[in-house]
Structure 1
Amino acid sequence: MKNRKLLIVDDESHIRMLIEQTLEDLEDEGVELLFAENGEQALEMIQREKPHLVFLDVMMPKMNGMQVCQKVKKELGLNEVYIILLTAKGQEIDRQQGMEMGADRYMTKPFDPDEMLDIATEILKV
C-alpha cells in the first residue's frame, strides 16, 4: 500500500514540528506528511487528501478537534480515516466525548514519541 498520507493538526507550530520529527522516518516508507494549523484547514485537507491517519489536536481556534472529528466521521462518513485525538485534557469524560464524536483513539499530551511512532506504524502498516 503506497501513497499513504498522515495529517498532523495542531495550532501550535512547535507541537506540529515535534510530531513531524517523531514521524519523519515514515517518509522513507512512502508516507506523505501533511499539516494543518486549525480545524477548518484540517477539514478541508481531510476531504481533499483523504489521509489514512490524522493526529488531531482538540483545543484549536475556528473549529476544535471534536467538531472536526464529528464532521469527518458522522456527517461525511469517512470512516476509513483513522483519527487520533491529541489533548492535554486526560479526564475519562473527555476521552469518552472524543470516542462519541467518532475518534478511533485518544492520546494525552505530553505524548510519548515512541508510542506515537508505534501507533502510526501499526495503523499505516509500514
Structure 2
Amino acid sequence: VLMDLHMPVMDGLDAIAAIRRHEEETAVAPVPIMVLSADSQEKTRHAVLAHGASGFVTKPLDPDALVDAVEGQVAA
C-alpha cells in the first residue's frame, strides 16, 4: 500500500490503524504500507512507524528513494 499521510476523509494514521486492525481480525498476513508526506519532521516519521507503517518517504519525492523503499519492503 502506498498512501499519503494527509488525505481527505481519513488521514494516513487512521488508515494504517484500520488496515492493521482488519489484518488482526481476519488473521491475514500484514501488507507493507509505505507513507508519503511533505512533513519531514522526525516526530512525524516516528508516529507513522509507531502506527504500523512499514516505511516513510518524504516529498518532494526522490524517485530513487521511493524505489529503494518499495524494493526494501518487497524483499522483506
Runs of 5+ consecutive residues of structure 2 not aligned to the other structure: none
Out of 67, 70, 75, the residue aligned to residue 17 of structure 2 is: 70
SS at match of 1:59: coil
Which residue identity lines up with residue 68 of structure 1 in the other structure?
A
The aligned counterpart of 2:44 is 94
Give distance in 1, aligned partners of 2:51 and 2:71: 24
Give distance in 2, aligned partners of 1:86 and 1:108: 6
Runs of 5+ consecutive residues of structure 1 not aligned to the other structure: 1-53
SS at match of 2:71: helix
Give distance in 2, aligned partners of 1:67 and 1:110: 23
Cα distance per residue 1:66-115 (max 9 Å; x no partner):
11011111x11255210111001111111111112111111111121012
1:59 aligns with 2:9: no
The structure whose RCO (Cα within 8 Å, separation 6+) is larger is 2
TM-score scaled to structure 2, two decimals?
Answer: 0.79
Out of 55, 64, 71, the residue aligned to residue 114 of structure 1 is: 64
Give distance in 2, aligned partners of 1:76 and 1:92: 28
Give distance in 1, aligned partners of 2:46 and 2:34: 13
Runs of 4+ in 1 over 4 A off after TM superposition: none
Give percent identity, aligned residues only. Answer: 31
The aligned counterpart of 1:124 is 74
Give distance in 1, aligned partners of 2:8 and 2:70: 25
Greater fraction strand: 1
TM-score scaled to structure 1, two decimals?
Answer: 0.50
Point out the structure with max Rg over C-alpha: 1
